[in-house]
Amino acid sequence: MRWIIDFLNSSIGKKIIVSFTGIFLCSFLLVHLSGNFLLFRSDQGEAFEVYSKFMSTNGIIGFLEIGLALGFAIHIFNTLRLTLENKRARPVPYAVNKASENSSLTSRTMFYSGLLVLSFLIIHLKSYFWEHRIVGSDLTMYQSVVESFKDPVYGGFYVFAMVLLGLHLNHGFESAFQTLGLNHKKYTPIIKFLGLLFSIIVPAGFASMPIYFFIYQ
């Protein structure tokens, strides 16, 4: 038992947990994006409503949602612990710190892009999850999404948040596999390329929704 606690409190233990939860959250993004593509069907939101009802009433999905909430919480909690640890270990920055030569911009801004994605998530959950599942709304989920994206400020905020999500995923994807030991002459460039594809396609897919509804509704 002691070794588990030691592992969870070690630096590498925290990094491994952040990596696993990060990969798990990436898989959620893929599922969420695929479901949201139903918004584009020209059926006045019928298919999206069936999907949305299923997601909010199915018992197994309810169980998976607890796992998802835990995934987010554990990912954020351990990232905060690692960031604080790094700050404590080096309270004064190096006198000569050519950060741009030592690391990429995306890696240096992971904490901030993560924080902004979290702010997006809070606003996002308030708009749909909270308003529908907790408060209750007269609108269908489809109507809510379409109505909210008519507002250029709200839609613009989504597009901006997706750029940050892209930056966060771009470094996170590659770094997660590196932490998990995948550092190989042949496979690392492939992982890097897949990370680049993922960090462009997924946020662009999400961003296409507010843009589409702003233009066509």
Residues at the contact surface with ligand HEM, assessed by CB under 6 A:
32, 36, 52, 55-56, 65, 117, 121, 124-125, 128-129, 132-133, 141, 145, 158, 165, 206, 209-210
Give Cβ neighbours of residue 9 (< 8 Å, ≥ 6 apart). Answer: none
Q: How far apart are CA 40 and CA 34, in angstroms?
A: 11
Identity of the residue, 20 or 40, whose beta carbon is nearer to ligand HEM in the bound complex: 40
Identity of the residue, 110 or 165, whose beta carbon is nearer to ligand HEM in the bound complex: 165
What is the secondary structure of 78-116 as a DSSP string?
A: HHHHHHHHHHHH-SS--SS--HHHHS-HHHHTHHHHHHH
Q: Closest distance between ligand HEM and the C-beta of residue 184, in Å?
A: 29
Q: Closest distance between ligand HEM and the C-beta of residue 135, in Å?
A: 12
Token couple for 80: 């905060």
Q: Closest distance between ligand HEM and the C-beta of residue 179, in Å?
A: 21
Q: Closest distance between ligand HEM and the C-beta of residue 53, in Å?
A: 8
Cα→Cα distances 156→99, 115, 141, 151, 183, Å: 31, 18, 20, 8, 38
Q: Closest distance between ligand HEM and the C-beta of residue 205, in Å?
A: 8
Q: What is the largest CA-CA distance in the chain?
A: 61
With b for 16 or more beta-carbon neighbours within 10 A and e for fewer, the 86-118 pattern comes to eeeeeeeeeeeeeeeeeeeebeebbeebbbbbe
Contact in structure between 169 and 195 (CB atoms under 8 Å): yes
Identity of the residue, 13 or 29, whose beta carbon is nearer to ligand HEM in the bound complex: 29
43: helix, coil or strand? coil
Identity of the residue, 47 or 65, whose beta carbon is nearer to ligand HEM in the bound complex: 65
Identity of the residue, 125 or 182, whose beta carbon is nearer to ligand HEM in the bound complex: 125
Q: Closest distance between ligand HEM and the C-beta of residue 144, in Å?
A: 7
Identity of the residue, 32 or 192, whose beta carbon is nearer to ligand HEM in the bound complex: 32
